[in-house]
Amino acid sequence: MSTDALYHPPLMPHLLIEGLNRYNDEPCLFLGDKVASYRDVRESTSQLVQALQSKGLGKGSRIAVISANRPEVLSNIAAMQIAGCIGTPLHPLGSLDDHAYVLEAAEIDTLVYDASVFEDLAAALQQKVPGLKNLLAFGPTNVGEDYLALAATFSPQPLVAPEVDPEDIASITFTGGTTGKPKGVMSPYRVTAYMTQIQMTEWEFPEELRMLIATPLSHAAAAFFIPVLQKGGAFYVMQGFSPDGFFDMVEQHKITCTMLVPVMLYFLLDAPRSATADMSSMSTIFYGASPMSPARLQEGINKWGQVFYQFFGQSECPMVIANMSKKDHDPSKPQRLSSCGRPTPWLHLALLDPDCNPVPEGEPGEICVRGPLIMKGYKDMPEQTAEAFAGGWLHTGDVGKLDEDGFLYIVDRTKDMIVTGGFNVFPREVEDVLGTHEAVGQVVVIGVPDEQWGEAVKAVVVLKPGFAAGEDLAHAMQSLVKEAKGSVQAPKSVDFVDAIPLTPVGKPDKKAVRAQYWQGSDRGVG
């Protein structure tokens, strides 16, 4: 602990402990037919902390987690924080190679996994990643150790926060880059503490907080942990998302709040049930993570009222760069529905030109931020870190403009990442796979507008001489990517062209390729 501990704010472990200690028999977590009280979650967290410690895991230990939604995921998030471990969530839809890359890049020594779904993956990763020492399973397993059985051997104890510094690393989450290889975003403890303060200050949580979680608990849903605890609320967790399941839970439990990615909202709006479901208890629908169609947003407001609240951020500066309040989702100002709201006053935000100078008022510039919410850097990538922090700002890679009322609009990306249904796809990785096909001469992969997914992955291909374009060939290319990278990364469409436009230095001009597909779209990307 550094000498300036006198000035350290409470961090995530302290906030978790305080929140879990605040209530006893009130319900905290509903999942399936099980209800866990605050006391239950607190005690199971303590048992998991002791299980981790019995394996020699604690401050600085690096743990990756992959699981379906189950009660233990929430307790394990708390346990890892309270033990001082550094967490890395694995994407449930990622490929074996992607997961192996993350485990090696983050120097993970322990994998926590849901044995009922990911046992084969755990076994394969154990073979592939020599540094993986511990395999801890939620439940009985043939390849590792039953983490829950181990935890059950301990008696619950009072929760005690670890001695961590605001600058100590709390998590490493992976994001991709234009260089192709995913980057490990190192988030120190100060980031989540500050993010939570902004959420508690600005976000419109209902007074009676019954929060429906329809997304993976291990990912964005965890960002709602502290606000729900602080307000004495309860999580209602779906094991898998379906419109009927969602509406059933809202009606049955009088749900007041949820967080959805736009594609889920589209499924809900298009479901026959949306015409009859009783959504009267729903006070706030938080949404973010990918572009939302303004027309669909208008449809949602017409159907359920002004209950929508948008958040905007990125792994390097999570969730609260800008927020759009419920009242600002004003149907009489339809153009505003393509905005991501006002920048938070709790961060410095500037729109800068390529030389790091502010752009003239009303002009587009790269969204750059400063403040306690920003990552420490990319793990083992000093050049990319220096680039991201050029001029003493975090460069988000998003180009935005501010209107006369101070609303922020994202007009383009400087990076090429595609966000499809809330999932990130990195074109270089897809291009590398497609480049292995014998017919491919040149290929660029871009995101194109998609009403349902926000963006859809499209491959634009120049064939080698002697090959003929056709549906069978396009399907073969889609299957190649699906097998190598998973269905999220597979192109939804393949266009065959005679040539790909080039920049003056001879690189494929993705901006020019992209422009022809985005013409007439209200919002470039968001």
Please list the residues that pair with 309 across neighbouring strands. 286
3-class SS of residue 520: coil
Please choose, from the candidates 445, 456, 396, the residue with its C-alpha nearest in 3D space to the C-alpha of residue 421: 456
220-262 residue pLDDT tens: 667 899 999 999 999 999 988 899 999 999 999 999 999 998 8
DSSP type of residue 9 = P
Model confidence band, residue 53 (pLDDT cutoffs 50, 70, 90): very high
Query: 391 vs 286, 300, 360, 370, CA distance in Å?
Result: 33, 41, 18, 11
Please list the residues that pair with 310 across neighbouring strands. 287, 324
Which of 65 and 398 is assigned the larger pLDDT?
65
3-class SS of residue 21: helix
The answer to whether the 3-188 and 203-346 domains have the same CATH topology is yes
CATH for the stretch 203-346: 3.40.50.12780
CB crowding 373-388: b at 16 or more within 10 Å, else e: bbbbbbbebeebbeeb
24-41 residue pLDDT tens: 999 999 988 889 999 999
Residue 263 structure tokens: 């594609």
Options 3.30.930.10, 3.10.450.240, 2.30.38.10, 3.40.470.10; CATH for 349-368+385-415 is 2.30.38.10
Which of 507 and 159 is assigned the larger pLDDT?
159
275-321 residue pLDDT tens: 999 999 999 999 987 667 777 888 899 999 999 999 999 999 999 99
Amino acid, res. 147:
Y
415-473 residue pLDDT tens: 677 888 888 787 877 887 888 898 988 888 999 998 888 899 999 998 887 899 999 99
List the chain domain ranges.
Answer: 3-188, 203-346, 349-368+385-415, 418-518
If one counts every other C-beta atom within 10 angstroms of the C-beta of residue 508, the result is 17
Average confidence (pLDDT) over 107-132: 97
Q: What is the pLDDT of residue 176?
A: 55
Residue 103 structure tokens: 């485990």
Q: Which residues contact 509 (CB under 8 A, 6 or more apart)?
A: 500, 501, 502, 503
Question: Number of C-alpha atoms within 13 angstroms, CB side, residue 449?
Answer: 16
Q: What is the pLDDT of residue 417?
A: 74
Residue 145 structure tokens: 């150790």
> How far apart are alpha carbons 97 and 102 in whole angstroms?
9
Options 3.20.20.370, 2.60.120.560, 3.30.300.30, 3.40.228.10; CATH for 418-518 is 3.30.300.30
If one counts every other C-beta atom within 10 angstroms of the C-beta of residue 436, the result is 10
Q: Is 195 left (phi over 0), alpha (psi -120 to 50) or beta?
A: alpha
- Where is 48: in which H helix or E strand? helix 38-54
Q: What is 238-286 written as a DSSP string?
A: -SS--HHHHHHHHHHHT--EEEE-HHHHHHHHHSGGGGT---TT--EEE
Q: What is the pLDDT of residue 267?
A: 84
With 0.75 as the threshold, say if the pTM is over it.
yes
- What is the side-by-side order of every strand in the sheet holding 210-213? 34-37, 27-31, 234-237, 210-213, 257-260, 284-287, 308-314, 317-324, 342-343
Whether 298 contacts 269, CB under 8 Å: no
How much is the mean pLDDT over the chain? 91
> How far apart are alpha carbons 475 and 13 in whole angstroms?
49
Model confidence band, residue 270 (pLDDT cutoffs 50, 70, 90): confident
Options 3.40.50.720, 3.40.50.980, 3.40.220.10, 3.40.50.300; CATH for 3-188 is 3.40.50.980
Please choose, from the candidates 512, 515, 492, the residue with its C-alpha nearest in 3D space to the C-alpha of residue 501: 512
H helical segments located in 107-261:
115-128, 147-152, 189-202, 225-230, 243-253
Residue 358 structure tokens: 């502010």
Average confidence (pLDDT) over 139-159: 97
